[in-house]
Amino acid sequence: MNLNESKDFLVHTSSLKEVRVFSREVFEKINLDVDLKEELVLAIAEAAQNIVKHGYKGVKETNDRMEIKISLKDNNLEIGFFDKGKPVIPENIQHRKLDDIKPGGLGTFFIKQIMDDAVFKKDEQQWVNHLILTKKI
């Protein structure tokens, strides 16, 4: 089964629930294991949270929107995130060491645990950041 669905969201913490609802609705159309679906929803929500938390750090309120695009082709799942926040420097993205127990720093770790790959591309003129998560399902 192939699919291609996208939706945009206000960059705000209150949008994270909408992101999960959208993701679950899309994954309902794919015959996936329930646990895998929830893992994918978590990965998507963490990436969206990173946009809100880090891409717009210090910004109290914005009308900017972020777009999430979920595509499936030949069992290759690709999830794109587009935002106009601060430019991400991929080399600076690090999750905390797991034995350094402290709040924070786990979102990126979860994404890496769940997905096969996560890369930033500079191919979208209308956006600042374009993150692509991929997984063979």
Partner 1 sequence: MSYKITEEGNVSTVFLNGEIDMDITETAKETILPIIDSGKEVHLNLKDVSYMDSSGISVLIESHQRALEKGTKVVIKEVSKSVLKVIMMAKLEQILNLE
17 binds partner 1 (CB under 8 A): yes
Name the strands in the sheet holding 65-73, side by side, starting at the edge strand that comes first in the sequence: 3-10, 65-73, 76-83, 129-136, 117-121
Calpha distance 129→87 (Å, rounded):
6
35 binds partner 1 (CB under 8 A): yes
Which one, 25 or 124, has the nearer CB to partner 1? 25
Options 9, 46, 68, 83; binder of partner 1; rule CB under 8 A: 46
Q: How far is the CB of 122 from partner 1 (least distance, A)?
A: 26
Burial of 38 from C-beta contacts in 10 A (0-12 / 13-18 / 19+): middle
Options 54, 62, 109, 134; binder of partner 1; rule CB under 8 A: 109
Which one, 33 or 123, has the nearer CB to partner 1? 33
Calpha distance 80→89 (Å, rounded):
17
38 binds partner 1 (CB under 8 A): yes
113 binds partner 1 (CB under 8 A): yes
Which one, 43 or 77, has the nearer CB to partner 1? 43
Q: Distance of CA 15 to CAs 89, 117, 134, Å? A: 24, 25, 23
